[in-house]
Chains A and B, each alone.
Chain A
Amino acid sequence: MSTIDQCQRNFHFRGRSFIAFALSPEPPIADWLVALGEWAAKSPGFFLGRPVVLDLMAVTLSEHAIGHLIDQLAQRGIRIMGLTGVDPAMTSEKLPPVLSGGWASEKAIGVESPTSGAPAQKEPASLLLDEPVRSGQSVHFPAGDVTILGSVASGAEIVAGGSIHIYGTLRGTAMAGSFGDERARIFCSRNEAELLAINGYYQTAEDMAAELRSKPAQAWLESTSLMIATLV
């Protein structure tokens, strides 16, 4: 048979999503780079091993200028894996690819600047919300588990470093173990989810079997497969 067929058998693509950090330069770029440099100096290693995309929405740059900006960032230890907010026609193969389909999270992830002196107080790594999470809202809690007493609306997202527990209906997106914890789980009293993900492995509503919908459910990871089962 054809060689193309061969290739198809050899490659396996698995859906895997990462939370990418979008850097959004603002004009004047020189000032922005200075501010970024100062900030990065206070949080060394923040970008290490994290996917970073460059969002060029707020600026108009030539292909050459984009390349220059990426070099400048590289000098500051930030490697760019993709571009957004730019017309693909404005870029070339030398630049990182233009990504589509990303969505912005409303709350920026808080970065605490390291404090010197007294040892940091150890906070319990869980977040409890006693209000419904509304469409368009996003809850980011890299530090641990998130428990929600109400429902999570269609168009809302929860991103947790640990597990996610939803006592209402999950109609939006839940991403547990988003920073590498493959043992994290998702529980909800009613599964109407748009997307469930653990450590980047996901299933969309369309992937899910009908008998798993509208029921109490949990999701967990078995190697690289996201598993979902109803809870009785």
Chain B
Amino acid sequence: MAKVVVITSGKGGVGKTTSTAALGAALAQSGQKVVVVDFDVGLRNLDLLMGAERRVVYDLVNVTQGLAKLPQALIRDKRLENLHLLPASQTRDKDALTEEGVAQVITELRSWFDWVICDSPAGIERGATLAMRFADTALVITNPEVSSVRDSDRIIGLLDSKTKKAEDGERIEKHLLITRFDPARSATGEMLSIDDVLEILATPLLGIVPESQEVLRASNLGTPVTLSNPASAAARAYMAAAQRLMGEDVPMTIPSDKKSLFDKLFGRRAA
């Protein structure tokens, strides 16, 4: 059974697109058939993070309007053959998407893939509500910072009222992914703690992704971080989150790039 996941947050710049690329790749690296769908019509980014920007011919809007068939618009990843991208249109605005059009595309994608991962635009307007509309599961991306947490809370409310599942009286599954976490700043109270965030949002935690230079490097390379540097803290965090999404029981840790005591001991000896 295919699973449709929306990556959402309310606030912009918290790591939705980064997480879509990293989780999409992580699931594909685990052998799943994955498509990542860019719903950020007019501000597309996912193609850049996936390194596919030079191969975009057709986009989501073209497909919903019947101007292109879905297989023509899907771009296969160069590194992982079971990973695909459905790009957004950069030239249209959000009103170009219709609910019927999106419904049709999602239904078709469900029949071909194990995972359909929808990268939502920021905001709570039409673009964001269409991205979440047909989701089975929502991943709410939150930074440990008050405005991001409040916006996430707002989005969780919308997930419980505006999605198809909610309207049908079912429950949309929701998880929290805390990104850009900085243990040092959290310890000094400059950032909210994980416990604070969980207490406020009352939503189960899927993972904690630390603030990491590797994320920036990966986006400049156009390669999801789980592929560009699988040993990095951010990549390990996304890998673990993907495993939890697949239902595996993985202990919750905050991966770190700092050297362990073991590394330090041997590092010193080698120096």
Contacts and interface: CB of A to CB of B under 8 A. Distances in A.
Interface residues of A, number: 13
Nearest to B146: A154
B175 to A, nearest CB: 16
A171 B157 CA distance: 15
B205 interface: no
Interface string B159-191: 010000000000000000000000000000000
Interface stretch (A39-47, A109-117, A133-141, A210-218): A133-141
B202 A136 contact: no
B157 A136 contact: yes
Interface residues of B, number: 12
Q: Which of A131, A134, A153, A171 has the most CB of B within 10 A?
A: A134
Contact of A153 (B124, B153, B158, B160): B153
A171 B200 contact: yes
A169 B150 CA distance: 14
Interface in A132-180: 132, 134-137, 150-151, 153-155, 169, 171
A158 to B, nearest CB: 14
A134 B156 CA distance: 7
B154 A135 contact: yes
Contacts of B157: 134-137
Contacts of A136: 124, 153-154, 157-158
Interface string B125-151: 000000000000000000000000011
Which applies to chain A's interface (DSSP): helix, strand, loop or mixed? loop
Contact of B150 (A137, A150, A151, A155): A155
B140 to A, nearest CB: 11
Contacts of A155: 150, 153-154
A137 B161 CA distance: 10
A168 to B, nearest CB: 8
A154 B196 CA distance: 14
B154 A150 contact: no
Contacts of B202: 132, 150-151
A87 B178 CA distance: 42
A5 B124 CA distance: 49
B156 to A, nearest CB: 5
Interface string A98-131: 0000000000000000000000000000000001
Nearest to B124: A136
Contacts of A137: 157
A136 B154 CA distance: 6
Nearest to B153: A135
Nearest to A137: B157
Contacts of B124: 136
Nearest to A155: B150
A153 B153 CA distance: 7
B59 to A, nearest CB: 31
A137 B159 CA distance: 12
Interface of A: 131-132, 134-137, 150-151, 153-155, 169, 171
Interchain residue pairs A-B with the least CB separation, the first 7 = A134-B157, A135-B153, A135-B154, A136-B154, A153-B153, A137-B157, A134-B153
17 contacts: A132-B202, A134-B156, A134-B157, A135-B150, A135-B151, A135-B154, A135-B157, A136-B153, A136-B154, A137-B157, A150-B202, A151-B202, A153-B200, A154-B150, A155-B150, A155-B153, A155-B154
Given A131-B160, A134-B157, A155-B153, 4 more contacts: A135-B150, A135-B153, A136-B153, A137-B157
